[in-house]
Amino acid sequence: MKRLFSFYLQSSIHVALAVTALAYITYTEYAWTPSSELLLFVFFGTITAYNFVKYAGIAGLHHRSLARSLRTIQLFSLICFCILVYVGLQLSREVWLAVLIFGGLTLLYAVPFARNKSLRTLSGTKIFIVAITWAGVTVLVPAVATKAVLLEPSLMLTAVQRFLLVLVWTLPFEIRDLRFDDPRLGTFPQRLGIDATKYVGTAITGVVFLLEYFKEPTNYEHAYSVLFIVGISAAALLLTPERPSRNYAAFWVEGIPIIWMMALLLLTHYLPIF
């Protein structure tokens, strides 16, 4: 069971479920009919992208002496990529264009493009690239697939909310990695310190909830789910220890979007407020 759980985290299945949950939340918020093809594309695309970012460099350096677990992850990623291509062939050109934009950001995040630097290594950019990519894939790509109006104010507010929430969810990872990160990365804990990072992140969750009330018309079930999830997000950030356990960020914090999806489904289908 421990090995299965380790594979579940290390192969990026958990983060893929989180990203797919966020895409599904967007469908639910706007009462769009979910596209199973797009949700599968997001799931397998996340696994492929994350494993490429995490393991491409390691595989290149140690391709002859890869650990068995890494070889298994490589094979798993290849299978996911093949499924990704098959599902992707069923998507429209407009969706592919949107996906390529954020896929390009992911590629530039991992692959050096100037003086052996990638977006990941540029000072102060890492957390924002992750947040932009997650917000784009989970809000704008479903909107394109549904042929919604991208510049509709409510949709733009949702994209901003999603961007800010991903920033908050990334902060526990930056606190966890503070001891190991290159000081030149300019992460929030490096610039502000751990306590100030927690306070800034908590303030951001308040902004996320405030933005919900500028949307018209108000989706009350979604608004209450946002209140619930910003509370959990703030608590998870404030309770992040200086040296968190291995699974604190990678499992519990990364799983917040999955909890959000379940809470929203519960409110929408079983406990309607109005």
* Residue-range domains of the chain with CATH: 2-270 (1.10.600)
What's the pLDDT tens digit per position in 137-190? 999 999 999 998 888 999 999 999 999 999 999 999 999 988 887 777 788 999
* Mean pLDDT for the chain overall: 88
pLDDT exceeds 50 at position 64: no
pLDDT exceeds 80 at position 43: yes
What's the pLDDT tens digit per position in 92-135? 999 999 999 988 887 777 666 656 666 666 666 778 988 999 99
What's the pLDDT tens digit per position in 212-233? 989 988 888 999 999 999 999 9
Q: What pLDDT, on a 0 to 100 scale, did the predictor assign at position 185?
A: 77
Q: Binning pLDDT at 50, 70 and 90, where does residue 65 land?
A: very low
Q: What pLDDT, on a 0 to 100 scale, did the predictor assign at position 187?
A: 85
Q: What pLDDT, on a 0 to 100 scale, did the predictor assign at position 61?
A: 46
| Contact (CB, 8 A) for 150 and 95 | no
